[in-house]
Amino acid sequence: MKMQWTLIAGLVFALLTGIFAVINVDSVQVNLLFNTVQIPLILLILGCTLIGGIIVGSYGIFRQYRLQRENKQLKLRISELENSTSTYSSPDSYTTTEPFVETEPDRIAQTDSIQSGRKGNSADTL
């Protein structure tokens, strides 16, 4: 829907510019820094409008290209992340042939780390 309104606005602008150019057909003097020329005002108006359109269109194409390139890079990054998470979340990667046996030093280290986090707090002030 936005594209349709943009197209309609562009056509209205082109129509108004064309009418304005046709009304102004007198010859004017244009200073080009190194020389002065006489050209019809209609050509000057239409030429400047055309140059402006080319500049705006070029910027739009450049911006579209940049967004497409960024979109492509982000899609590649997403697929890389999905592939890396699928390798970690597969059930086969967590199964081992040896059963997990908690040893006494592991239990003591775990208890010590819990108690070291509670230092300064007595049991009845929690």
Per-residue DSSP letter, 33: S
3-state helix, strand and coil shares in percent for the chain, rounded to the nearest 5 = 70, 10, 20
How high is the pLDDT of residue 55?
96
Phi–psi pair at 62, nearest 5 degrees: -60, -45
Q: Is 96 a residue whose pLDDT tops 60?
A: no
Q: Is 119 helix (H, G, I), strand (E, B) or coil?
A: coil
pLDDT for res 77: 93
Please tell me the predicted confidence (pLDDT) of residue 63: 95
Residue 20 pLDDT level (bands cut at 50, 70, 90): confident
Q: What pLDDT, on a 0 to 100 scale, did the predictor assign at position 118? A: 54
Least confident interval from 1-10, 69-78, 82-91: 82-91
pLDDT in tens, 31-80: 988 899 999 999 999 999 999 999 999 999 999 999 999 999 999 999 99
Residue indicated by tokens 């970690």: 88
pTM of the predicted structure, to 2 decimals: 0.54
Residues of the chain with pLDDT > 70, as a percent, come to 69
Helix axes 2-23, 41-88, angle to 10 degrees: 160
Query: Three-state SS for 76?
Result: helix
Q: Report the alpha-carbon distance of residue 60 to residue 47 in Å, rounded.
A: 20
Q: What is the pLDDT of residue 58?
A: 95
- Mean pLDDT across the chain, nearest whole number? 80
Q: What's the whole-number mean pLDDT along residues 100-113?
A: 58
**E-assigned strand segments in 8-121:** 27-31, 36-40
